[in-house]
Amino acid sequence: MGPRVSADEHREDPADSAGAIEVLPPEMIDQIAAGEVVERPASVVKELVENALDAGATHITVDVEEGGKRLIRVLDNGRGMSAKEAELSLRRHATSKLRSIDDLFSLSTMGFRGEALPSIAAVSNLAMITRRRDATAATRLAVQAGAIAERREVGAPVGTQIEVADLLHNVPARQKFLKGEATEASHITEAVSRLAMAHPEVHFRLRHGSRTSIDAPRAKDGLERAKKLLGARAGADLHAVEGYEQGVRVRAYLASPARAQTTARGVQLFVGRRWVRDRSLLHAVVMGYGELVPKGRYPVAVVFVDAPGERVDVNVHPQKLEVRFSDQRAVCAAVRHAVSRAVSRAPWVEGALDVGAGSLRMEPAGGGARASEMAARYAEARASALGPADRPAQGERRGLSEVAFPVAPRGEQVGPSPAEGGAPNRGVIGAGGRGGAERGRVARAPGFTPASDPVPERDHRPAENWARVTGDVASDESDTGDVPAASIDARAGEASISATGPMPASSAGFAFSDLTYLGQLERTYLVCEAAGELVLLDQHAAHERVVFERLRERYQDRKIPAQALLFPRELDLEAGERASLAEHADTLAGLGFDMDLTDEAASLRAYPADLREHELEKALSELAGDLADRGGSRAVEERSDRAIATIACHGSVRAGDQLTDGEVDALLAALDETPRRTHCPHGRPVLLRISVAEIARRFGRT
C-alpha cells in the first residue's frame, strides 16, 4: 500500500491562488504534523527509544552520525512487529497502545497517539527491520518521502531496528534551523540520559559515531542509575528521599547544595516515567532546598512524581514534554515537603564535615563556584604572603602567629604614628593596636600546637593541589553549559579516578566545639585548628545560620522574643514598603514586630530581640520585599523563611566585628546544635578546611 497519493492535481497556478482557500496536499499535512513531533534529531531519538521501551526492550542501543542529522539508528530487543503491524505502524493514528479515550489516564506506555513513526517517516528516509519472537524471519521496510519504497523479508534477531537518515532533507526551511553537530549531539545525549534515568532496569547505550557517550547497564535501582548518569562528582553525594502526601508519591535523588548551578538544567523532573518541564515543580524543588541554594542558582536533583493517573493529563504537549495536574498545588506541596525534609537532615553535610584529617581533597565545603573562587583567592594570597618562610620552630608561637596571619597593607590604614614610638606594626591581623591582642589570644589558646607539630605519618598522602581543586569545582560550571555530552564523558572518566582514589580518612563526627580557636583574620574569618587541618569559618555566615535556625524554630512556636520600646520609633520607610508590611501584619507580629502602619508613617513599638537595633530600618525595608506576594507564586512559608533569613542577617555579627574568645566559643558550641550548619541561609559556605597534608605539600614537604 502506498499511503501517499501524489498531490499534483491539487496544485493550482500560484498566480490566481492568492487569498484563495485551498485544501493542503496530504504530503504537506504530514510534514506539518511532523513539525509538531520532530523538532530536531533529539526528538526523533526520544520517540524511537520510547517505542522501544513500550515494546518491552531490556537493551536499547542508539547510534547517531553527525549529531543525528545524517543518521539515527535505534536498536532494541523488544517484542518486534509482524509484517502487517510494521506497515500499520507507519500509518497516522495507528497505535497498539490506546483503545479508548479513558485509557489516556491509565497509560503504562510512553506512546499513545500513533503519530511518531509516520511523522518521522514524512521528513526522512526511514528503514525498519523488525522481528517478532514467534516469527522465523524479520521484515524490512524502507520509506522514502512518505511512501513505502521497499518491503522484504530479511534475517535479523528478535526486536526492532529503525534507521532514520537525512532528517528533514525534504523540508529545507526547517533543516536550516538545526544547530551545529555538537549541539544536536548534546541534545541527543540529554534525551537519552533522561530516558535512561527513568528506566534503570534497561541497559542503554549511546554512541556518537565511534564515541560511546552513555553506557548504562541495567541498574539495581534509580539511585544507582542516577549516580551513573550524573557522574562521579554530583553522583557521589546523591541522597535518595521518598515522600507520600495526599496521594502523591515523590522519589528524589538530591545532590548537595554545593553543586548548585546557574541554570535549572540540573533539576530533572519526571512524572511517572516521563521527563517533563514544569516551572511550578521546578520551583517546588528549589524551595525545598530553601536558602541552602543561593538566589538565582539551582540545585542538582532528580525528582520523580507519581500521582494517580486520573490526576495527570499527559496529552497537553506534542512532544509530551509537559503534563497537567488536576491538583497542581498538592503535587507541588508534596515535592516541596519531601525535598525540604530531606534537606533539613542535610545528609551530605556530615559527609562534607567528615572530610578527614589529611584527606586528599581540600573541600571548600560548598558554595560551588564562589567557594572555589574563594579557595583560589585564598590559595593565591597564602602563596604570595607566606613566601619562602620556613616552618617556625616548635613553641615559637609569637613568630608563628605572625607568619600565620599576614595581611596585605591596606591603603587607607594610617601607619603607627611616630609619636607612639612603638615597633612598626608587623601587619598582624589588621593594623592598629589589635595585633597585640590577637597575638595574646593565640598564645593563650588552649591546646595550641604550632602547625609544625608532626602530623601522624598515616596522614601523609599525595595531595591534590589547589589548581586541581579549583579546576575541579570550576568544572561544575561546565555542567550548565550547552555540552552535556562532553561533561558526561568527563564524568565517566572521573568516576574511575575517584573510585580508585583513597576515601576520606576519618568518618568520626566533626564537632565545631572541638576546634581550637587561634584567632580572627581580618575580623571576618575565625581561624581554627582541628586534628590535622586548618579550619576557617566565616563568622557572619556561621552566626547567621545559628540565628536563622533558632529564629525559625521559635517562629513556628510563635515565640520569637520581642523587645519593647520606651518611645515608639518612627521609621523612614517608603509608601510601597509600608503597604507591603501592612498587608503582612500577621507574619510581622509572629516575627516579633509590633508596629503601627498608616499611609503616612510607620511607627514601631517592639521588634525581634535578635535584630540589631541600628539595622531596623534596613531590615524592615528588606522584609517588605521578602513578604511581597509576587503574583502569589511564593508559598507563605517560603516568604516567612526569607523574612527570617533577613532578620538573621541583620541580627548576626558582621564581617569586621571583633569577637571575644567567649563569643567564639559560644558560636562554635551553638553551631554543633544547628541544622544545615555548613552554609549560611543565603547558601554561602560557613567553613573552609585545609589539611595539614596540603599545607605540607605547599611547603614542599611531601
Partner 1 sequence: MDIRIQKSEFLRGLRLAQNIADRKSTMPMLANVLLRASGKNELLVAATDLNISLSAELGSQNESEGGLTLGAKALYDIVASMPDDEVHLARRENNWAEIRAGKVRYRLAGMPDRDFPQVPTTDDVSFSQVSAKTLREMIDKTLFSVCSDETRFHLNGVFFESDGKTACMVSTDGHRLSKIERSLEAPALSAGIIIPKKGVAEIKRSLDGGGDACELAVQTPAQHQTPHFYLRTGTITLAVKLIESEFPPYDQVIPKENKRRATIDRGIFLDALKRAQLMSSETRGVKLALEDEKVEVAGDNPDVGEVHEELPAACEGGKLAIGFNPKYVVDLLSHMDAEQVHVELGDELDPCLIRPAEDPSYLGVVMPMRI
Ligand X SMILES: Nc1ncnc2c1ncn2[C@@H]1O[C@H](COP(=O)(O)OP(=O)(O)OP(=O)(O)O)[C@@H](O)[C@H]1O
Angle CA(671)–CA(674)–CA(679) in degrees, nearest 5? 75
The CB-of-63 to ligand X minimum distance in angstroms stands at 15
**Cα dihedral 622, 625, 626, 627 sign:** positive
Closer to partner 1 at the Cβ: 158 or 606?
Answer: 606
Q: Classify residue 434 as exposed, middle or buried by CB count within 10 Å of its CB (0-12, 13-18, 19+).
A: middle
Q: What separation, in Å, do the N-terminal and C-terminal C-alpha atoms of the chain show?
A: 77
d(CA 469, CA 491): 15
Closer to partner 1 at the Cβ: 421 or 424?
Answer: 421
Please give the residues from 25 up to 64 whose contact with ligand X meets the rule CB under 6 A.
47, 51-52, 54-55
Please name every residue paired with 533 in a beta bridge, in sequence order, or none if there are none.
Answer: 530, 691
Residue number, nearest CB to ligand X:
111
Considering only residues 377, 426, 559, 701, which one is a binding residue for partner 1 as defined by CB under 8 A? 559
d(CA 598, CA 62): 67
Radius of gyration of the chain (CA): 32
Q: Are strands 125-131 and 138-144 parallel, antiparallel or unpaired?
A: antiparallel
Chosen from ligand X, partner 1, Mg ion, none, partner binding at 654 (C-beta under 5 to 8 Å by type): none
Contacts with partner 1, 633-652, as mask; x by CB under 8 A: ------------------x-
d(CA 151, CA 144): 12
Please give the residues from 76 up to 135 whose contact with ligand X meets the rule CB under 6 A.
76, 78-81, 89, 94-97, 111-117
Element (H, E) at 312: strand 312-313
Closer to Mg ion at the Cβ: 116 or 303?
Answer: 116
Is residue 656 at the binding interface for partner 1, with CB under 8 A as the rule? no
Contacts with ligand X, 160-199, as mask; x by CB under 6 A: x---------------------------------------
**Cα dihedral 459, 464, 467, 468 sign:** negative
Is residue 683 at the binding interface for Mg ion, with CB under 5 A as the rule? no
534 torsion bin: left (phi>0), alpha (psi -120 to 50), beta (else):
beta
Chosen from ligand X, Mg ion, partner 1, none, partner binding at 419 (C-beta under 5 to 8 Å by type): partner 1
Closer to ligand X at the Cβ: 95 or 213?
Answer: 95
d(CA 473, CA 491): 13
| 69 Cβ contact partners less than 8 Å away, ≥ 6 residues apart | 41, 166, 167, 168, 178, 181, 184
Site stretch for partner 1 (CB under 8 A), options 361-369, 386-394, 560-568, 692-700: 560-568
Please give the residues from 411 up to 450 whose contact with partner 1 meets the rule CB under 8 A.
417, 419-421
Is residue 613 at the binding interface for partner 1, with CB under 8 A as the rule? yes
Helices (H), 504-597: 539-556, 575-583, 585-591
> Which one, of 45, 43, 38, 37, lies nearest residue 207 by Cα?
45
Closer to Mg ion at the Cβ: 51 or 539?
Answer: 51
Chosen from ligand X, Mg ion, partner 1, none, partner binding at 666 (C-beta under 5 to 8 Å by type): partner 1
Closer to partner 1 at the Cβ: 102 or 570?
Answer: 570
The CB-of-456 to ligand X minimum distance in angstroms stands at 60
d(CA 24, CA 11): 9
Closer to ligand X at the Cβ: 52 or 611?
Answer: 52
Please give the residues from 195 up to 224 whose contact with partner 1 meets the rule CB under 8 A.
none
Closer to Mg ion at the Cβ: 95 or 452?
Answer: 95
- CA distances to 57, 512, 518, 549 from 673, rounded to whole Å, are 51, 10, 22, 10
DSSP class of residue 106 equals G
The CB-of-604 to partner 1 minimum distance in angstroms stands at 10
Q: Are 31 and 171 in contact (CB under 8 A)?
A: yes
Residue 239 phi/psi, 5-degree rounding, is -125, 125
The CB-of-5 to ligand X minimum distance in angstroms stands at 21
Q: Are 346 and 675 in contact (CB under 8 A)?
A: yes
Please give the residues from 102 up to 121 whose contact with Mg ion meets the rule CB under 5 A.
111, 116
Grid cell digits, residue 65 = 552520525
Closer to partner 1 at the Cβ: 253 or 607?
Answer: 607
- Count of residues near partner 1 by CB under 8 A: 25
Please give the residues from 242 up to 271 whose contact with Mg ion meets the rule CB under 5 A.
none
Closer to ligand X at the Cβ: 77 or 652?
Answer: 77
The CB-of-614 to partner 1 minimum distance in angstroms stands at 5
Considering only residues 31, 51, 160, 193, which one is a binding residue for Mg ion as defined by CB under 5 A? 51
Q: What residues line the site for partner 1 (CB under 8 A)?
A: 417, 419-421, 550, 559, 561-567, 569, 592, 606, 609-610, 613-614, 651, 666, 669-670, 673
Q: Which residues bind ligand X (CB under 6 A)?
A: 47, 51-52, 54-55, 76, 78-81, 89, 94-97, 111-117, 160
Binding residues (CB under 5 A) for Mg ion: these are: 51, 111, 116
